[in-house]
Amino acid sequence: MNRIGKFVPKFIRRWAHRFLATELAREPPFRLLVKKVLSVVPVPMQMKSRWDACARPPYLFGLLHAAYQAIDKKVPAISAIEFGVADGEGLLILEEYASAVERETGVITKVYGFDTGKGYPELCGDYRDHPDMLNPGQYPMDEAALRQRLSSRTTLIIGDVAQSVPDFVRDSRHPPVGFIACDFATYSSTRDALQVLSLPGKRMLMKVPMCFGNIAGLGWHQFAGELLAIAELNAKNHNVKIDQWHGISSWRVFPEAPWLQSMYVAHDLEAISKAQ
Ligand SMILES: C[S@@+](CC[C@H](N)C(=O)[O-])C[C@H]1O[C@@H](n2cnc3c(N)ncnc32)[C@H](O)[C@@H]1O
């Protein structure tokens, strides 16, 4: 397949390729212009990702890396999960990316969205669930309207993750987890969601790209919310550990992009120990 859309005349495609390969294209102010152009013209998802030329760069970057890993390990299908769906803006984007990445890589990608459907459940009762920023019932979903917009690729799982995640792991029909977007913000919901990586019978790639939506900003810290849930999983679990995605800014066109700080990786240490 052509790397730049086939409807663009050949000489322009050739020129565009040469230009994109130069240092000049990656210099300000050209990179902003290139990003704008790549966000509207039909180019491969890998190129869109490299230039942050998409609505949710962390979703696309994580998904692509899951697909590359699946190809490398000869895994035919993966699951991409969004924890915290609300009105479905993120889930619809994840679905769109999954479809494009599947088309380009051949890795079958099922999408799962977890939400109560009624907004936040009761908070845990202290600072750990950020009552300064979140309330029970906040972010309710119009479930019927969202279901109408989702394709058969995506499964919406309604219920509190304290229950729905153990059910999901027990029902082992889904492909191994390849990518997780976690947008719960509270400690207790994130803790319960992360069980998808630690419960007996869990199915995951050896390295699962993850993005966390609520770790950067004045109010977020390591003693509450998503960061506390990550630390707790790491302290209690010997087989799977979540760590920041080290060196992620290298080779990026926009190495200063804030979303890069939200990217983590869940490493399946047990599987890595057995790797050939
Ligand atoms: C910030 S919103 C998600 C926004 C969405 N990711 C987006 O990009 O548009 C957080 C969502 O998490 C859901 N949620 C919080 N705790 C939950 C739990 N324990 N189980 C299931 N859903 C939960 C809430 O219902 C809320 O809709």
Residue 101 sits in a domain whose CATH number is: 3.40.50.150
The reply to whether 180 and 48 lie within a common domain is yes
Query: Dmax of the chain from CA atoms?
Result: 63
157 class by beta-carbon count within 10 Å (0-12 exposed, 13-18 middle, 19+ buried): middle
184 lines ligand 1 (CB under 6 A): yes
Show the domain range for 70.
Answer: 44-273
**CA of 207 relative to ligand 1 center, distance in Å:** 24
Which ligand 1 atom minimizes the distance to the CA of 181?
6
The reply to whether 131 and 259 lie within a common domain is yes
143 lines ligand 1 (CB under 6 A): no
Residue whose CA is closest, atom 25 of ligand 1? Answer: 119
**CA of 83 relative to ligand 1 center, distance in Å:** 6
pLDDT of residue 41: 87
The reply to whether 23 and 135 lie within a common domain is no
Comparing 42-51, 103-112, 129-138, 264-273, the range with the smallest average pLDDT is 42-51
pLDDT of residue 6: 64
Comparing 149-153, 165-169, 193-197, 213-217, the range with the smallest average pLDDT is 213-217
Count of structural domains within the chain:
2
The reply to whether 126 and 49 lie within a common domain is yes
Which ligand 1 atom minimizes the distance to the CA of 93?
8
Whether 61 shows a pLDDT value over 50: the answer reads yes
Confidence of residue 2 (pLDDT cuts 50, 70, 90): very low
pLDDT of residue 4: 58
Q: Which of 91, 183, 226 to mutate to test the pocket of ligand 1 (most atoms within 8 A of CB)?
A: 183
b/e per residue 34-46 (b: at least 16 CB within 10 A): bbeebeeeebbbb
Name the residue with higher pLDDT: 6 or 49. Answer: 49
pLDDT of residue 124: 96
The reply to whether 66 and 1 lie within a common domain is no
The reply to whether 39 and 49 lie within a common domain is no
Q: Which residues contact 128 (CB under 8 A, 6 or more apart)?
A: 186, 187, 188, 223, 224, 225, 228
Residue whose CA is closest, atom 7 of ligand 1? Answer: 90
**CA of 152 relative to ligand 1 center, distance in Å:** 21
Whether 13 shows a pLDDT value over 80: the answer reads no
Q: What is the pTM of this model?
A: 0.92
pLDDT of residue 12: 72
Question: What does the pLDDT look like over 151-164, one tens digit per residue?
Answer: 999 999 999 999 99
The conformational region for residue 130 under phi > 0 = left, psi -120 to 50 = alpha, else beta, is: left
119 lines ligand 1 (CB under 6 A): yes
Average pLDDT, the chain: 93
139 lines ligand 1 (CB under 6 A): yes
115 lines ligand 1 (CB under 6 A): yes
